[in-house]
Amino acid sequence: MSLKSYIITRLLLTIPMVFILLSIVFVVLRVLPGDPVTMLEGKDIPEEVLQRRREELGLNKPIHEQYLSYLINIFQGNLGETALTKVPVTYFIIQRLPATVELAIMSMIFAVIIGIFLGSYGAYKFHRPLSYIVRIYGMIVYSIPVFFLGLLLIYILSISLGMFPTSLRLSPLLEIEYSTIKITNFILIDSIILNRYDILYDWLHHLFLPSLVLGIYLSGIFVRLTHAQVAETLFKDFVTAARARGITERRILYKYGLRNALIPIVTMMGLQFAALLSGAVLTETVFNWPGIGSLVYESILARDYNLVQGSIVIYAFLVALVSLIVDITYAYIDPRIRY
């Protein structure tokens, strides 16, 4: 199968996957205990008011009509309005999603750099003290709760040393100024377009600490995976033959060891990036980072049914998109995947 045919096949398979994800979102939100209208309005509201609110939200319709209307609205790009403020859900998602994407990308960069470097070097020094230290590091950082690691680094790097801010994407004054000139709401892109490198520097200064926390946490996975894959490759016969031909150890490590470990690493990168997009709620809450994770947290506290549902739907689309990109990437790296 050619790469083009493989991509078309994966695109077609993505359609039922997205449909299943959306269906799961619909079912889960409706089987959860409690009446969303009662949670919004309170228990002491007259019944006629509750009925009117159910009608406004479409919750008085039969379940199959709700499901059909839900799918039609989603594929039309309509995620509804927030229950309390009557603002379109898409407005809040457009405002918050860029911050989460920025955090996820920077965190993944930290995780991959730390994880692949330490994992490869630990495999190169196999059966030496450094190899055991690297493996212990991988187990420790992945077992530490991410919120505790965040609070610990805030205390050390922010409170004690005063090196980094503890919250928000920009300093308050720059945040106000940026809100009047932003174009895409991606600060990296906007600051370059507008030639505002003071905004870029301030953004990187605020982004460093929360992304470092997530990066260190995730690096444990990449350390263990890279170490295991590279160490296994370095003991194979073709590597022994390469050494016999006089190829340097550095070249063997990167050309033979790391290259053969790329498939599981790329797969894990895709899975963890999707998890970052959908699971950075704790980190965003600890650092008061205005992303979609904190939006979900706030909407749950406010019991805003449409906002929770719309945010989770966006997560579903992102997971499907990242899975598609990962499949295409490792099919390009290893042609055997296509057959």
User: pLDDT digit string (tens) for 162-219?
Assistant: 899 988 889 888 888 888 888 888 998 999 999 989 999 999 999 999 999 888 988 8
For residue 38, the model assigns a pLDDT of 66
pLDDT by residue (tens digit) across 251-303? 777 776 777 777 777 777 777 777 777 656 778 888 888 888 788 777 777 66
**14-28, 66-80, 201-215, 306-320 — which one is most confidently predicted on average?**
201-215
Other Cβ atoms within 10 Å of 154 Cβ, number? 20
What pLDDT does 208 receive?
93
Q: Is the dihedral of CA 194, 200, 206, 208 positive or negative?
A: positive
Model-level pTM? 0.79
CA dihedral sign of residues 123, 124, 125, 130 = negative
What is the rounded average pLDDT of the residues 135-157?
Answer: 86
Q: Find the DSSP H helices in the chain.
A: 3-31, 36-41, 47-57, 63-75, 89-124, 129-143, 146-153, 172-181, 187-193, 197-234, 237-244, 249-251, 259-260, 262-279, 281-286, 292-301, 305-333
> Is the pLDDT at 339 greater than 60, yes or no?
no
Is 257 in contact with 243 (CB distance < 8 Å)? Answer: no
- Which residue has tokens 């050390």? 156
User: What DSSP element (H or E) covers 36?
Assistant: helix 36-41
Amino acid 204: pLDDT: 93
How is 276-329 classified by DSSP, letter by letter? HHHH-HHHHHHTT--SHHHHHHHHHHTT-HHHHHHHHHHHHHHHHHHHHHHHHH
The pLDDT mean for the chain works out to 79
Report whether pLDDT(148) > 80: yes
- What one-letter code names the amino acid at 112? V
High-pLDDT (> 70) share of the chain, %? 85
- Burial letters 247-268, b for 16+ CB under 10 A, else e: eeeeebbeebbbebbbbebbbb
Q: Specify whether the CB–CB gap between 123 and 231 falls below 8 A.
A: yes
* Whole-number pLDDT of residue 36: 65
Residue 39: pLDDT over 90: no
pLDDT, residue 37, reads: 66
pLDDT band of residue 71 (cuts 50, 70, 90) is confident
**DSSP 8-state secondary structure symbol assigned to residue 88:** B
Mean pLDDT across the stretch 321-325?
78
Structure tokens at 264: 């599981």
Phi and psi dihedrals of 172, rounded to 5? -50, -45
All structural domains of the chain? 3-75 (no CATH), 96-301 (1.10.3720.10)
The residue with tokens 């407005």 is 91
Counting residues of the chain whose pLDDT is more than 90, the rounded percentage is 6
Whether the CA torsion 169, 174, 180, 183 is positive or negative: it is negative
pLDDT for position 278: 60
Q: Output the pLDDT for position 201.
A: 93
pLDDT (tens digit, 9 = 90+) per residue, 87-145? 888 888 888 888 888 888 898 899 888 888 888 877 777 667 777 888 888 888 888 88
Confidence of residue 18 (pLDDT cuts 50, 70, 90): confident
Torsion of CA 262, 103, 285, 22, to 10 degrees: -70
CA trace torsion 196, 199, 201, 204 (10° rounding): -130
The per-residue pLDDT for 228 is 79
Q: How many residues does the chain have?
A: 339
